[in-house]
Amino acid sequence: MKNMFASKILKNIPQLLSMSGDVDSSLVQIIEEIKHTLDLNNVALYYLSEEQAYLKVPEQDSYFCNFALKQDTLEKLESEDYVLVSLLNESNTNDSFYLFPLKIRQATFGFICVLAEKEFDDELLNALKALTAVASYAIKDSELSNVFKIQLKALQSSIVDKTQAVNTIKEQNEKILEADKAKNEFIANISHELRTPLNAIIGFSEVLGSKIFGELNDKQAEYINDIYTSGVHLLGMINEILDISKLESNAMKINYTEFHIDTAIGEVLSVMKPLADKKSINIKFDNKVTNMVKLDYQKTQQIFYNLVSNAIKFTPENGEINISSTTKDKFIELSVQDSGVGIPKSAQEKIFDKFVQLENTYTKTGSSTGLGLTITKRFVEMMNGTIRLESEEGKGANFIMNFPMEQNNA
Ligand code: ADP
């Protein structure tokens, strides 16, 4: 008899421990297992809450029902292996019940209740104790996995929330883009409006400076010259802001024409020469492109204007600027190289970003926008070209552009 119980229990423990599925069906399995293994008819499983015992398995039964536990029974359930009680409730007058506590680490969370239909010998009691202990872990294990399931569900619902969040962000982004477009249009308009009076300032100060309307004394000539140069400078900055806002609202159009590259660059250099002369900077232009190129004339000139004016600005007196145009495979390579302060490696990646101005002796005056290279790069890319920088700090900078010879313009 002894051995029979022991071997049956041993055989069934793995099965009890590997229960899966929902907790309630696991509890039914446990009770069925106990009944079957130990040949008992009336076995129930209770959960404890405060002093109340709640019947979990079976759901309804003539013997078993919810009931309030006496204090001493509760205490015994905490400390003993089992408790023998008579009377679960008023209806079960003559019956006695064994209660085997379901525990995890000393905490009793329920018990298995067995009708004492016969006298329980030690062996049976031990078998029940062993099975209850195993059941305790099996129940907690299965409840734990339930907790995981709940957590998983919560996680899934938070994923749903995330999708909603992503959608909200998308909507917000669309609104921001719209607002940004409106802002760019506004800036484009206001820049345009600013140019009209500024052109008057530049035009009239130039006329006065030319002395057509009479002689000027030294102070007048000096001030007229200041008004003129400041006006031109301001116009340059407004033009850059106008360009970037046009670019950002996709309002910038490209207009391809065929022209000789040396004509376009030559015109820019004749405008820039007086500035270079002031610093005794020598500009050399080496053109090896004899064929016509197909690019946007005005944008190409502006690219050179930006690069050459930077080269002049960031090169000390008596420096050198070398401009070259050549063909390489199916590309036209154009470059502007100077012998100036150069750009440190750490800054080379961000140099084309909006409003980037590096700290050096030439940028301290602070009268520029930091948009020149941004616009330059965008113009280059609009014409299907690439621009890269080769530079070492203190050793000058070289901006190299490549444009495909054949433009597939629309
Ligand atoms: P801006 O000249 O209006 O400040 P840019 O976008 O043209 O703006 O240039 C950004 C910054 O890049 C400049 O402030 C300067 O620090 C650096 N930079 C541009 N060109 C050169 C150059 N040829 N040599 C050294 N630094 C340069």
User: What are the start-end ranges of the H helices in 43-91?
Assistant: 71-79
pLDDT for 8 equals 64
Q: Are strands 43-49 and 107-115 parallel, antiparallel or unpaired?
A: antiparallel
The residue whose CB lies within 8 Å of the most ligand 1 atoms, and thus the one to mutate among 247, 341, 351, 371, is: 351
Q: Domains of the chain, with CATH numbers?
A: 6-136 (3.30.450.40), 160-251 (1.10.287.130), 256-404 (3.30.565.10)
C-alpha to C-alpha distance for 254 and 244, rounded to whole angstroms? 14
pLDDT tens digits along 71-111: 889 999 988 989 998 866 555 557 888 999 988 767 788 99
Q: Which residue's alpha carbon is at the smallest distance from atom 4 of ligand 1?
A: 370
For the purposes of burial, counting CB atoms within 10 Å of the CB of 156, is it exposed (0-12), middle (13-18) or buried (19 or more)? Answer: exposed
Cβ pair 86, 96 in contact under 8 A: yes
pLDDT for 2 equals 47
Say if ligand 1 is within 6 A of residue 240 CB.
no
Kindly give the number of the ligand 1 atom that is closest to the alpha carbon of 373. 6
Say if ligand 1 is within 6 A of residue 237 CB.
no
Q: What are the backbone dihedrals phi and psi of residue 88, each rounded to the nearest 5 degrees, phi first?
A: -85, -40
**DSSP code for 69:** P
Q: Which residues pair with residue 53 across a beta bridge?
A: 48, 67
C-alpha to C-alpha distance for 314 and 246, rounded to whole angstroms? 28
Q: Which residue's alpha carbon is at the smallest distance from atom 23 of ligand 1?
A: 311
Cβ pair 362, 313 in contact under 8 A: yes
The residue whose CB lies within 8 Å of the most ligand 1 atoms, and thus the one to mutate among 235, 238, 306, 314, is: 314
- pTM value is 0.55
Say if ligand 1 is within 6 A of residue 311 CB.
yes
Cβ pair 201, 226 in contact under 8 A: no
Say if ligand 1 is within 6 A of residue 308 CB.
no
Kindly give the distance from the C-alpha atom of residue 119 to the centroid of ligand 1, in angstroms, as a whole number: 99
- Taking the chain (410 residues) in runs of 10, the rounded mean pLDDT of each run is 57 59 75 85 88 87 83 90 78 77 82 87 84 77 64 64 73 78 77 81 87 90 90 85 82 89 92 89 96 92 93 95 94 96 91 82 65 94 96 95 76
Say if ligand 1 is within 6 A of residue 241 CB.
no
**DSSP code for 350:** T
Closest CA to 34 of 23, 24, 45: 45
pLDDT for 281 equals 96
Kindly give the distance from the C-alpha atom of residue 201 to the centroid of ligand 1, in angstroms, as a whole number: 28
Kindly give the number of the ligand 1 atom that is closest to the alpha carbon of 368. 3
- What tokens were used for 29? 């399995």
Amino acid at position 223, single letter: Y
Kindly give the distance from the C-alpha atom of residue 310 to the centroid of ligand 1, in angstroms, as a whole number: 6
Kindly give the number of the ligand 1 atom that is closest to the alpha carbon of 360. 16
Kindly give the distance from the C-alpha atom of residue 397 to the centroid of ligand 1, in angstroms, as a whole number: 10
pLDDT for 112 equals 93
pLDDT for 240 equals 85
User: What are the start-end ranges of the H helices in 1-67?
Assistant: 2-17, 23-38
Say if ligand 1 is within 6 A of residue 356 CB.
yes
Collapse the DSSP code of 403 into the 3-class scheme (helix H, G, I; strand E, B; otherwise coil) and give the result: strand
pLDDT for 192 equals 76
The residue whose CB lies within 8 Å of the most ligand 1 atoms, and thus the one to mutate among 283, 357, 375, 389, is: 357
H helix or E strand, kind and range, residue 326: strand 320-328
Say if ligand 1 is within 6 A of residue 373 CB.
yes
